[in-house]
Amino acid sequence: MENMTSEDVAPPSSTNVDLSDTLRFVLGTLVGIPLGAVALRIPTTAGKELWILLSGVAVLFGTVQYAYALVGFAFSMLCFGIIKLLPDIACPQGIIFFLGMGFLLAYRLVHLMIDNPPPKDMVTGAYIMILCYRLVSLGFEVRGAEINMSKTKEGQKAKAPAKTPSPSLIRYLSYVYSFPGMLTGPVLAYADFHQYLETNPVVMSSENYDVWKKRVVYFMQTAGVFVFATMAFPAPEMKRLVTGWLGLRNCIEMFIFLAFGCFRLRFKYYTIWMLAEQSFLVAGIGCGDQKESYDLERIKAIDPYEIEIGAMAQKNSIQHMIAHWNMSVQRWLVRCVYKRFPSKQLRSFALFTVTAYVHGLSPGFYLFFFNLAILDVLEKKSQHLFVYEGPKYLMVVVRYMIVFRAFEYIVVPFHIPTASLWECVLVWQTLGFSFHIVGAILIIALVVFPKNKKPKAE
């Protein structure tokens, strides 16, 4: 990298995340599994509510910094007052949305001023993010206009979902402080939590057990791959890409480093999210009908097989990968942002902006999500430019290589959140701005060779 050499910059000594922070995060997630097993067997709805609330508070104060936990409680009570006291015409759902986003900003600014540079307290940061997700979800579902998320056949009118009743104080607090997903996804909608308590499952049926067992197997497989990848390729400090300490000589070496590093990072997220799913499953959360069978799609956070393997066989690979990554947060974004944004032309822009915002204030987050949006649109619009009639397996391999290299190229700024905007650009410079150049060529090709519209049938 120009003006940066391995002799000029010392190697980073740590990742700025201490062991105690990681241990609190893992233990706080693991303890939800036995707590969920107990919750399932409590026979009364009131007993379930109380157990979930008390267990959640215990997990909270055992993992999160006390000051932030108390501030979060005060903010939760403010939102409860808005939901209960303001009339429908006052649009409290919009007020809660902007209060939630403002609270998230205030936390990050205070954290930045107190600790400069701030340590990566991922436990407290994750709790604040999940708290905002839950409060916004509750505000929209209880007092806002309902959004139908189900798909219907063409020509059929979607059936409007039933309005979720306003919660009591105990139910409100049991949702806000429910231990499943407290420190990481899946993000549980209040309507699903309310339905879970009203259905009140007390046993795990054979169908439920089969679903849970399959997800446990998937978790063990992804965890095994993650451990193997960590031993074979130690955790890369993406900051080294900025400093130039790695001493990579050309963009080919950089892409090889990214391929191994991002593979390990993907399986890290798979392992964390699938572990977090277990507390939902053993508690019976996701049980969405009278048959007491799991509606797994409501709480599924990730689908590793579809991302790693299914994307190869799909026509729109990037779109397929996005659809199966952090799925519960995507549903939250569609329900609370995309389908409610007034301008249809700007909905996608608003969605990616909010997505970047909830992750943090780093320029790298915004660079990643905006580039991801552009990549997604270009892939959809440029299908007609590529006509291939050769062996199918060859096209699958080529598509796989292009899609994952493109994703690894744009995801670099996301993994160096402490880097400045210019430092992120320097990383892409080392990679020759390769995929940005490809994107520019595609845009020119789309202008020169637009897709022919099919004539309307008479």
| E strand or H helix that includes residue 2 | none
- pLDDT per position as a tens digit, 229-263: 878 766 555 555 545 544 455 677 778 778 888 88
Quote the tokens at residue 237.
């400090």
What's the CA gap between 197 and 22, in Å, rounded?
32
- The single-letter code of the amino acid at 286 is G
Cβ contacts of residue 264 below 8 Å, gap of 6+? 226, 229, 230, 233, 235, 236
Alpha-carbon distance of 219 to 389, in angstroms, equals 38
Chain segment 322-359, per-residue pLDDT in tens: 888 888 888 888 888 888 888 887 888 888 889 989 88
The secondary structure of residue 294, as a DSSP letter, is B
Q: What is the pLDDT along the chain (458 residues), one digit of tens a residue?
A: 344 433 333 333 334 444 466 777 888 888 999 999 899 889 999 999 999 999 999 999 888 888 888 989 999 998 888 888 775 555 566 788 888 888 888 888 887 776 554 445 678 888 899 999 998 888 888 765 455 555 444 444 444 445 678 889 999 999 999 998 888 878 888 888 888 888 887 777 677 778 788 888 989 999 999 888 878 766 555 555 545 544 455 677 778 778 888 888 889 889 989 898 888 888 888 654 434 445 666 788 888 888 887 756 655 578 888 888 888 888 888 888 888 888 887 888 888 889 989 888 888 888 888 888 888 888 878 776 777 676 777 777 777 888 888 888 888 888 776 667 777 777 788 788 888 898 888 888 888 877 776 555 54
Task: Quote the tokens at residue 380.
Answer: 């959809």
The answer to whether 166 touches 84, Cβ cutoff 8 Å, is yes
Neighbours of 150 (CB within 10 A): 7
State the sign of the Cα–Cα–Cα–Cα dihedral 130, 136, 139, 144. Answer: negative
Is the preceding peptide bond at 186 cis, omega within 30 degrees of 0? yes
pTM of the model: 0.83
The CB-side HSE value for 449 (13 A sphere, CA atoms) comes to 9
